Amino acid sequence: MKIFSNKNFVAWYFVFPVAFIHLFVIGIPSLASLALCLTDWRGLGEINYIGFENFIELFDDRYLKKAIINNVIWTIAFLTVPVGIALTCAYLLTGIKRGQMFFRLAFFFPYMLASVINCQIWKYLFHPIHGLGGFFERIGWEFLAVSPFTTKSTSLFAVAFVDGWHFWGFLVVIYLTGMYQVDNHLYEAADIEGATKFQKFRYITLPMIRPVFIFSIMIIIIWSVPVFDYVYILTGGGPAYSSEVIANYMYSQAFERFDVGYSSAIGTLMFFYVMIIVAMFGLFRRAGWDI
């Protein structure tokens, strides 16, 4: 039949199964969450409409404010350390001709591991008895024998370090891909002018990979909002909410305190924040930015 040979029909034929699953797994629950944020539903029983009371409560919730501050710190940390290390390593890798695939796999391998495995590796590594803590205690460095995951002043940064260790290899790969798109004639011209490696990196490499770089900044900002798995596995948000983030706090409200309405309000807040970030980058794109 002619309809089956239509290109649009063929495209939708293959897209429909994924779109159907996405609708029922993500779309409908998301819409339900937007509706439940205006209720006091506890997960079971009657659903009562309470208007914007949940959102009013958000502004008085000191634990949520602490989680938001931790999310901001998390975002700043990921916009600096992993990005800086990944840019440096990617630029250095462009000068390696032999065995480059080995280095790519070595950097990307932590990203391929499941978060549970990554967390267990670092949990055992920082274990106060069987890991580095026990080693430091035996050599007399008791101040380093405590696991950073169990200390209020270091728990958030320790979890961010583990997540960054898993994530920065992904950035290396995408930056390296962008750097290989740069025309070699630009570097040759810079060599003739006597430019240093740093000058070539600053005035040629960075401007030429700007679309990839800005894209990485965007995904880091967006992915830093729903960060959950590493915090939940390593610290559970503790000790004393020192590593609590918004997604972890939302989970505890929904599945530990059974305050589904309030949890949905937190999720709605996250949703609008991400939409604002996406809209901002969309405006930058319309303004002529290469994104």
Q: Peptide bond preceding 29: is omega within 30 degrees of 0, i.e. cis?
A: no
Residue 228 domain-assigned (yes or no): yes
Residue 33 domain-assigned (yes or no): no
Tokens of 226: 């729903």
Q: Which residues are 49's β-sheet partners?
A: 39
Neighbours of 209 (CB within 10 A): 25
Residue 86 domain-assigned (yes or no): yes
Residue ranges of the chain whose pLDDT lies below 50: none
Residue 11 domain-assigned (yes or no): no
Kindly list the distances between the CA atom of residue 10 and the CA atoms of 5, 13, 270, in Å, as whole numbers in the listed order.
7, 5, 36
- Give residue 290's pLDDT: 67
**Which long-range contacts (C-beta less than 8 Å, at least 24 apart) are formed by 107-114?**
107/168, 107/169, 107/172, 107/173, 108/169, 108/170, 108/172, 108/173, 109/169, 110/165, 110/166, 110/169, 111/166, 111/167, 111/169, 111/170, 113/166
- Give residue 5's pLDDT: 56
Percentages (nearest 5) of helix, strand, coil residues in the chain:
75, 0, 25
- Give residue 68's pLDDT: 94
Tallying the residues shown for the chain, one arrives at: 291
Residue 270 domain-assigned (yes or no): yes
- Give residue 291's pLDDT: 64
Tokens of 157: 């940064």
Per-residue pLDDT tens for 157-209? 999 999 999 999 899 989 998 888 888 888 889 888 888 888 888 888 888 89
Residue 188 domain-assigned (yes or no): yes
Q: Which residue has the tokens 């159907």?
A: 20
User: What CATH number should be reported for the domain holding residue 193?
Assistant: 1.10.3720.10
Q: Which residues are 39's β-sheet partners?
A: 49
Residue 49 domain-assigned (yes or no): no
Tokens of 246: 């918004």
Number of domain units in the chain:
1
Q: Domain range spanning residue 257? A: 60-286
Kindly list the distances between the CA atom of residue 250 and the CA atoms of 103, 218, 223, 265, 270, in Å, as whole numbers in the listed order.
39, 23, 16, 9, 10
Residue 9 domain-assigned (yes or no): no
